[in-house]
Chains A and B, each alone.
Chain A
């Protein structure tokens, strides 16, 4: 490692906390809109995973690549996604980045390095690796790519193939595993048999980093280390953070399968509350100041939602219904 890794500062922590807070407030709004029947499609929240997710997105640079997964609202905002585009996608506005053609957690802007996930878990790992390979072939140096996955996703063939292929080419890829204890309803005891998901890193010959997913400081420092190692030529880095998804799989899911012992265990803490407590205990800000940040964010989210609700919806008669970019390849089917 040629450069020294800077320690996480008070300013870094507060900046990350503010994004976590925005993510939490925005997702609370999404849950409310879902209950009101105003959301197009599903709502899958990242409650409890904000510290980890924000720690990824906020420590990437312009020119890096980020392929988030379904519980990465925090990381998305940290990487440059906006409250506006989030709400546009969830509320089905024609002005959203996906124009009604795909929804919500699948949104992205690939040209900005913000990749649009597909639902098939693990699929983004080789794609980010390939993007990094293309950068290398172009002679560009210094960029890294990060992608997120859960405990369930580590069981897919795509995870294995992608991480292995990236390791063979020593690509600057960071794979972040949010070990949130459940894949939909499947507990980890039915997901993997190794002692710790981090054990997989040695098998692939990649860097290994463990974080306490409930602690923002630990997440920031761990991701900083992993991103640094990848950027400095250390090849792929696997980050595993233990935490608990604090909500059901989606808002349709009552989470009745949650083992109450997990909720009371170390992973069951709410990372946002712990971060808030840290800020106050350190004397960086008062509880009133933190409460004011929340109100400020709520106002912004509510105002944005009101604005988006007045925007046009996608018009089937205006969609060109073209899956291919080249117009002459678009076939006309008489009956459709």
Chain B
């Protein structure tokens, strides 16, 4: 069985094996194999192309940008998404502006081990896809399955634009697949993860699995919930969302991010402005609480959306 984490390692292995422009740069990713072992054995297999970086997120991204200008395809690992804010300037002011300013694209992939795990606490749990999506010039993806983790990372390396690859740590070990696909939906297309007729849940990342569990729970109440896995939050597949809402008439957006200005806010804004007439009830959303991510497992479990809080929200939506 291949885990989500192993899929990311195998995608990097394949990228290194098939594309001489690819190299990996990040903290502890060399012989140690990375804090999560996403680069295990790769430095031995590809000598000189899997490089340990100093503890300098700003320089790591800055180096990747220069390398990309010179034709390389760097994949950089932030040890945790949370630390990418130390490299924010290079990502949003340099990588994201380069193509618009100079017509020279910036093909870097920044891997962000994202999202909460039990005991992770305020600085090792953040979901930052919305802040990166806010700046023009970045592609932001959030694979929720083993298959997507593999194919979307390979696709990201081939994209000429900078890609923020938000891989979810909660999925690293327990999500498994038998095989890895060769082909997949392209980045920018959402996927109907579960078909339904009574309401639509739009979600991404680890929340896909909580949402699917909530949908399963609601079967006992006689409801068929459609679940849309966004896969990429920028570009956002508004067509697939609107088509689903057209079928169900009800929308619930679910994200592990903080609520203010996040992906759920963007999805709601688009449906309200472009598909208001499709709605039979006011749309709803479920996010993490608007506090730093707590450390204690009991607090953390109540901070993030779960199958039961999502199901409860869906029941309210269905009764509107």
Question: Contact residues of A with B, CB < 8 Å?
Answer: 97-98, 101-102, 106, 108-111, 115-116, 118-120, 123, 125-135, 137-138, 157-158, 161-162, 164-165, 168-169, 322-326, 328-331, 334-335
Report chain B residues within 8 Å CB of A323: 96-97, 99-100, 136-137
Q: Which of A132, A134, A324 contacts B71 (CB 8 A)?
A: A134
Smallest Cβ-Cβ distance to B90: which chain A residue: A123
B48 & A137 in contact (Cβ 8 Å cutoff): yes
8 smallest CB-CB distances across A and B, nearest first, come from A126-B62, A130-B66, A130-B63, A131-B66, A161-B59, A134-B67, A161-B56, A127-B66
Nearest CB in chain B: distance from A160 CB, A: 8
Nearest CB in chain B: distance from A114 CB, A: 10
Question: Contact residues of B with A, CB < 8 Å?
Answer: 23, 48-49, 51, 53-54, 56, 58-72, 74, 89-90, 93-94, 96-102, 104-105, 136-137, 139, 159-161, 187-188, 234-236, 238, 273-274
Report chain A residues within 8 Å CB of B102: 97-98, 102, 108-110, 116
B274 & A334 in contact (Cβ 8 Å cutoff): yes
Report chain A residues within 8 Å CB of B100: 101, 322-323
Report chain B residues within 8 Å CB of A108: 102
Report chain A residues within 8 Å CB of B49: 137
Q: Which of A98, A120, A135 contacts B89 (CB 8 A)?
A: A120
Report chain A residues within 8 Å CB of B105: 325
Q: A101-B100, A120-B93, A158-B89 are in contact. Are A133 and B139 (CB under 8 A)?
A: no
Q: Which of B62, B72, B89 contacts A129 (CB 8 A)?
A: B62
What total of A-B pairs shows CB separation below 8 Å? 153
B273 & A334 in contact (Cβ 8 Å cutoff): yes
Report chain A residues within 8 Å CB of B66: 115, 126-134
A130 & B234 in contact (Cβ 8 Å cutoff): no
A110, B67: Cα distance in complex, Å: 11
Smallest Cβ-Cβ distance to B106: which chain A residue: A325
B62 & A101 in contact (Cβ 8 Å cutoff): no
Q: A134-B72, A137-B72, A331-B235 are in contact. Are A118 and B97 (CB under 8 A)?
A: yes
Nearest CB in chain B: distance from A119 CB, A: 8
B63 & A133 in contact (Cβ 8 Å cutoff): yes
B62 & A118 in contact (Cβ 8 Å cutoff): no
B236 & A331 in contact (Cβ 8 Å cutoff): yes
Report chain A residues within 8 Å CB of B63: 126-127, 129-130, 133, 165
A322, B98: Cα distance in complex, Å: 11
A165, B69: Cα distance in complex, Å: 18
